[in-house]
Chains A and B, each alone.
Chain A
Amino acid sequence: MGSAVNHVRPWLAATALAALVAPPAHAQRADASLACRATATAHVYDCVLTLSRGGKPLQGAGVVVGVDMPSMPLAHSVAPVTATPGAAPGEYHFRLALEMHGEWAVKLRLSGPVRDQLILHYDFDGTRASPVRR
């Protein structure tokens, strides 16, 4: 128990310090678009993400992709995946294994040249994913 407390204490201290004193580092915003198509396995999609910043392809970014259902937040724990750079500048590839069809909020956690989290809403059906328009 004591070691667990010792393990968590530095995190808590760093967090508390960040909450109180750290100045904000305003992120430079990135833009993203997504194209996904269904694979032969049910609810599994191959996706190509295109990232840009200021109209130019964003290269060298670390991208971790997570998903959540907007109508049932926190209830689905789909494992996040790390995107790999594609052949074209600003392109990243990843495979998503969802639990069901429907609208999902795709969360892109970016690191490297841009540190941010982008949220894209896509409707995943039996063949592909389409951006949600409201």
Chain B
Amino acid sequence: MDGYTVGVLTNIGLFSFLALSAYVLLVAGELSFGQQAFFGVGAYTAGVATAMFGWPLAAATAAAMALGGLAALLVGLSTLRLRGLYFAMATLAAAEMARILFELLRWQREVNGERVGPDGAQGFRGIRWVFEHGMEAGGFLALIYGVLSVLVTALLVLERSRLGATLRAVGLDPEQAAAVGIDIHRIKLGVVSAAGAVAALGGALYAHHNTYVEPRNFDIMLGVHALAYALVGGLGTALGPLLGVALDVGVLEGSQVFAGYRMIVFGGVVALLLVVRPRGLLDEQIVNALTRRGWGLR
């Protein structure tokens, strides 16, 4: 595999975590413009753990997921009483607060004669775990897709379960779900926290792929794209967001046909799809039809 293909596949894989994070919230009926904040929390946490304190990548990633989930839970506790657009705006505000916090974060220590750690707007350099452990780009790509496969499989299993059905009921008609005794607030808090952990997982891998992160990496554009990928790919199955990412980063960007105009093309695709297929390409109807024919997308 050449370097370009590895790069495109790596970008698709890493973006998929963020898109899946937005997807689980959409399934639960919530629109978040702020998942990039938890991606950032994961990136900084895992970077601090490996680069400053020499943790193994697996432990650093687990810590990143825990902190990402906790941060999302705290945001959820203060915003989930809001509905629809108000919740979306609150998540955007929280994400911008997080980005500004990253800009204020200065915490460095000396490691092997070099100052390492977050340095405000200058970013956080020296997240070299991958290089120091002799991992090649292809090996890291395999790691990304290995972790992504586990996550997608877990989501597909969840969607077939009673909890998955409950989640969709909450997302489609919360009043009716509450009427049959489902604790909407508790379910949504759990979803918000899990979505934060998923985004943080992607962020941890991103930081180690890039070796460097900075606050601007986690601005609104990243969150908007993640949301768009979930909406374009479809809300009928966890494979939907992956399709959305693959369409934009893989087909539109990877083919280089539209060059610098690709963002405009993708924006048009999103607008068109929101009109003709508001729940995306792989929506519940398509997935149910394919499942009946034995495709088993859910």
Contact = CB atoms under 8 A, between A and B. Distances in A.
A and B form one complex? yes
Interface of A: 8, 11-12, 14-15, 18-20, 22, 24-27, 29, 43, 64, 66, 68, 70-77, 79-80, 99-100, 105, 107, 109, 115-117, 119, 134
Nearest to B245: A74
A24 B128 CA distance: 10
15 contacts: A11-B139, A12-B142, A18-B134, A19-B56, A19-B133, A26-B132, A43-B260, A66-B3, A70-B217, A72-B225, A73-B206, A75-B253, A77-B4, A99-B262, A107-B210
A119 B125 CA distance: 8
Interface in B2-21: 3-4, 7-8, 11, 14-15
Given A72-B221, A74-B249, A8 B11 contact: no
Nearest to A100: B260
Contacts of A119: 125, 210-212
Most buried by A among B54, B125, B210: B210
Nearest to B9: A77
A77 B142 contact: no
Given A11-B142, A75-B225, A77-B249, A20 B56 contact: yes
B124 to A, nearest CB: 11
Interface of B is mostly: helix
Interface in B62-106: none
A86 B222 CA distance: 38
Contacts of A74: 11, 14-15, 206, 222, 249
Contacts, number: 111
Contacts of A8: 142, 145-146
Interface string B112-143: 10100000011001001101111101111111
A66 B56 contact: no
B176 to A, nearest CB: 38
A18 B141 CA distance: 14
Contacts of A100: 260
A24 B4 CA distance: 27
A79 B135 contact: no
B30 interface: no
Given A22-B134, A77-B254, A79-B7, 18 more contacts: A12-B143, A15-B140, A18-B135, A19-B58, A20-B58, A24-B54, A24-B133, A29-B114, A72-B221, A74-B11, A74-B14, A74-B249, A77-B253, A80-B7, A99-B259, A107-B210, A115-B131, A117-B128
A27 B142 contact: no
B217 to A, nearest CB: 5
A109 B136 CA distance: 11
Given A24-B133, A25-B132, A71 B221 contact: yes
A64 B137 CA distance: 12
Nearest to B144: A15
The 5 closest A-B pairs by CB, nearest first: A11-B142, A24-B132, A79-B4, A80-B3, A119-B212
A13 to B, nearest CB: 9
A15 B129 CA distance: 13
Contacts of A109: 137
B58 to A, nearest CB: 6
A27 B131 contact: yes
B142 A75 contact: no
Given A12-B146, A75-B253, A116 B128 contact: yes
A43 B248 CA distance: 22
Nearest to B129: A24
Contacts of A12: 142-143, 146
Contacts of B156: none
Given A24-B133, A77-B253, A117-B211, A99 B121 contact: no
A72 B224 CA distance: 11
A27 B126 CA distance: 11
